[in-house]
Structure 1
């Protein structure tokens, strides 16, 4: 039987999955031969020639070739360059033998003046013009599908016998010359319990787009409806699947459209060039292997959003968490701990663009001012790092303490504790819509002003609507209802909340209120009833603020997380790391800040002493030692 006819015949006779399995076993040279003579009847090359690399194709006039190569290098996630041909070169010697780019793709697209003007089965009629054109071969996500399948992870478009879904996004590529466009992504629904595995498999395969650039809600990257892809087919997810997005080589076609050159060609979506190169699987290692293992964490439930960081960064942040969980005042905080809250809060803050911080616990109700020294230092430490990372930061406090806190920030800048001022505002509860108007532009929940709210050592509302210190004294008359911002944020998609405390009566501790009631003295009365998405518990709340600043620094130095943040667009921003280091809390800065608080009459929380202590613990050597240890974990040395 003629081999080519047998393949054609079998495709028409077999069910979809049998056809897929047959296509998977075809070697690339045979598949290219069948394509060349029009006898391979398939609409896409997904799952074809499994174990071999596939390539996206862009063909441009030679005068644009240098700029397009630079565009590929600047947007390597979407366009990992495998080979650039010479003008008029039909083959691709490093990638394949006996290939001809004019005939060896299932289908091509033609662009004239940047406009798609038709699909073609062959480019033979353009041979003369192609002599002055250069072909670029870029890696394709189809190249990693076999490794994913071998790991027992389903690929839904393969199961459903259709093309992968591809979408335009709101992620701008790095511009080069006339090439400017947004990134195109491919999407595969992945079971939630397989997210770590799929990221670890694809991360090392940089020439096939590498790790995903977004995991979770499509709207966060400008995709309105997964059921209507811009290219490819709609793929049906199964219960428990999460949409996972990889940078896609069809970004090259969008770049061609932006250039508006007289003539250009690309492959059709899903119709890749099949190479003779084997896809080499390098598994990311959790145990000191040559490839760092990425870890995936959910950082938002509303809308669902996941982040990625290296195992090394994750373990450093977990070490910070263990350190601040020391309990020198014996407050029994071990009963309130939830795993990885510091890590997840820090990852979420790393993605945030605008952060609101609140602090202030007026426990000394007979003093003026009634505030304690725990809270403001941690808030300012976080604000310093967030601002260094070019995020918008605002501090909200009680109206009665507004001017004092503004003065403290002003003096902290003068003393070099923080580089630039942080706006300090109050919240006025003037009616039912006040929280929404404060949190969102024009009170519209689709346009929040803040991505993340943090409460650190902030008096939290109990179940009876009052506010209590640890001695069961009601201090409601001293506390503005900033809790309402956190309660309202629960129903605003896109706002994440973090509560930091050390006793259970702080804003955000509602997440652990049952444990507070059981295990903390007076907990049945004082427990805060207002929850946060993440609840970070420490022996002293300031320590958690310092730890979050350190965790943000660690994440800024994590190449896996940094790539995920910038969506594999552009180049690593290594020049900014020094500024982040300068923003870290240090013993000298925190000593200066504590002296400023004491100057303003702010006292130690537990003892009421007006001196260099926090929660009854002397700055030297308890708090100073904690800061040194946090920096040692963060920087790998004593500071």
Structure 2
């Protein structure tokens, strides 16, 4: 008997009549194309797990500890009606099919559990919410569905992303993928938010290898959905993660609903998935081309970062930097840094070539402020400086720790290579581009190489004899997949400003000579470069406090770290810390960039009336919504 296409509208008793052995082979496909309108008619889809009573507390904890993946509707004695879902039939007939597992191995497919009544007396049933429908979201976004390459349900993949391990349940995240045209990603995210709230959010957009998936054409479950050249793979958690969890615990006996099979249950309970207000719809931003990677953030959080970008874009030196500004560079750089695990920062602009040290007070404070926040996020962070300035920066870092500006010392490195091979060897383990030591480079007020190979201060004075070729590291990174870069500058002659060099040549005084020729992926323009470092730290706080972005970062595994952790707040820049930092530079005879004086100023602007006010504005804008 053919399985009726409109099965999800049918009463449960009638549905079960069709779930006979002759129809079993068509069930997965029918489940895949179910009509989700039934959810508005009092039913919602779910998957079923039946485990020994001894494992029930651990499995419940596992689901709660990974609730972004496994929204648990409840549990019940296996041989009794489900208490929260009073009209659900006896578990022995609730599911059209069951898979039987013994010690982690599938040992059979069953049409019912009628023959296991005795064993079920010591077992517990778990029902997991599957109410979010990717197909419904695609339809709402106006994205046509794709044919499967096989007769089964849409493919699902085991990843190398581990779920939070709890009490013997240890398994990888399983995901399902749909290809989406690049120009429709924003529309899809709005639709998934509308259909599924937080539960509908994808957990990865981009290169499948970032999840450890080697071949999309070979799913671990179901059939491949073909990607076209204009498509971006979009991934969501799959309820099959619970199946991997059951396999991992190696229970003597367990039963599960099979891959691709869902159970329609009365909608008597509210899904435990977090509901987000309408204004929390995600935005999607590209953060890497090689490998292809997108990130998401809520619209309100993105707007707060944009406010930071506008705040630092004032031009107190009247240099014409307004012509260099690129929209959303701060947001995209912060998103990329948020995903990074190992960051290399560089700073140092020896503009005062007739003095010792020749460094200026712009750069090191911003670098230290960013490093302090990266540290509290648990990211490996190092700073690379000129060999000649190493002792100076060692003293700066040492004093910053003593005065509480830094929690722990930041490792200091130098680079004096003379070739791209040297740069690659510096960036990668054993020089292998498949094993980069860092995944993001940041330059803050770092002297940048001009087109003629020299390094110039704003007055066109060549300072090449004081500068190590750290630019080569940024150039080498452009050819190594997995390394992104950010440049922060305020005049166009800083490392990374090659991204805006044509505007520098046109609008900045002496720009035709001093313009940096070396690009970064993201260029943050600020009235004073230190401000860009402060703003980047503040932007990272906003992103990691955003539910939408934070869930995406951890792939919905584990529990939320919670917004506004006290340690994050303490690691933000502050007027007190930046005053101490500038005092440290003054003690080491570091001079202001414009005036050349040794005193409490940066770029000729006094700390207390200008820089302190900027720091406070940034911190206030960052923490106002706590």
Fold shared, TM-score > 0.5 on shorter chain: yes
The whole-number CA distance in structure 2 between the counterparts of 1:612 and 1:329 is 17
The whole-number CA distance in structure 2 between the counterparts of 1:30 and 1:512 is 67
Deviations 1:205-257 (A, max 9, x none): 66994411111111112111111111111110233221111111111111111
| SS across alignment from 1:406 | helix
1:16 corresponds to: none
Name whichever of 202-211 and 530-539 sits farther off.
Answer: 202-211
Q: Which runs of 5+ in 1 are unaligned?
A: 12-18
2:18 corresponds to: 34
The whole-number CA distance in structure 2 between the counterparts of 1:157 and 1:174 is 34
The whole-number CA distance in structure 1 between the counterparts of 2:625 and 2:545 is 15
Distance 1:137 1:205, change over 3 A: farther
Residues 1:60 and 2:51 aligned together: yes
| SS across alignment from 1:603 | coil
2:35 corresponds to: 49
Contact 2:545–2:564 (Cα < 8 Å) also in 1: no
Contact 1:183–1:251 (Cα < 8 Å) also in 2: yes
Distance 1:176 1:203, change over 3 A: farther
Which residue, out of 225, 235, 238, partners 2:228?
238
Q: CA RMSD in A?
A: 2.8
Deviations 1:241-297 (A, max 9, x none): 21111111111111111111111111211111122439999xx99xx9556222221
The whole-number CA distance in structure 1 between the counterparts of 2:231 and 2:338 is 25
TM-score (norm 1): 0.91
Name whichever of 610-619 and 27-36 sits farther off.
Answer: 27-36
The whole-number CA distance in structure 2 between the counterparts of 1:115 and 1:352 is 37
Q: Which runs of 5+ in 2 are unaligned?
A: none
The whole-number CA distance in structure 2 between the counterparts of 1:428 and 1:119 is 65
| SS across alignment from 1:125 | helix
1:140 corresponds to: 130
Distance 1:192 1:431, change over 3 A: closer
The CA deviation at 1:132 is 2.5
The whole-number CA distance in structure 2 between the counterparts of 1:458 and 1:153 is 46
Name whichever of 544-553 and 180-189 sits farther off.
Answer: 180-189
The CA deviation at 1:49 is 2.8
1:387 corresponds to: 375
The CA deviation at 1:334 is 1.3
Residues 1:229 and 2:219 aligned together: yes
Deviations 1:121-154 (A, max 9, x none): 4333333322332221112265453244133233
The whole-number CA distance in structure 2 between the counterparts of 1:508 and 1:130 is 65
Distance 1:141 1:480, change over 3 A: farther
1:195 corresponds to: 185
Distance 1:102 1:521, change over 3 A: same
Which residue, out of 573, 577, 591, partners 1:589?
577
| SS across alignment from 1:530 | coil
Distance 1:432 1:631, change over 3 A: closer
2:165 corresponds to: 175
Residues 1:293 and 2:281 aligned together: yes
The CA deviation at 1:164 is 1.5
Which residue, out of 584, 595, 605, partners 1:617?
605
The whole-number CA distance in structure 1 between the counterparts of 2:234 and 2:269 is 21
The whole-number CA distance in structure 2 between the counterparts of 1:540 and 1:348 is 22
The whole-number CA distance in structure 1 between the counterparts of 2:417 and 2:316 is 38
Distance 1:561 1:27, change over 3 A: farther
2:252 corresponds to: 262
The CA deviation at 1:42 is 3.5
The whole-number CA distance in structure 1 between the counterparts of 2:564 and 2:88 is 48
Contact 2:433–2:481 (Cα < 8 Å) also in 1: yes
1:506 corresponds to: 494
Which residue, out of 309, 318, 324, partners 2:297?
309
The whole-number CA distance in structure 2 between the counterparts of 1:148 and 1:276 is 25
The whole-number CA distance in structure 2 between the counterparts of 1:207 and 1:28 is 28
The CA deviation at 1:622 is 0.7
Distance 1:278 1:232, change over 3 A: farther
The correspondence of residues 121-520 of structure 1 with structure 2, limited to 5 A, is: 121-140=111-130, 143-156=133-146, 162-203=152-193, 209-277=199-267, 289=277, 292-520=280-508
| SS across alignment from 1:305 | strand
Contact 2:148–2:226 (Cα < 8 Å) also in 1: no
2:513 corresponds to: 525
The CA deviation at 1:400 is 0.6
Contact 2:132–2:195 (Cα < 8 Å) also in 1: no
Name whichever of 352-361 and 362-371 sits farther off.
Answer: 362-371
The whole-number CA distance in structure 1 between the counterparts of 2:408 and 2:62 is 36
TM-score (norm 2): 0.93
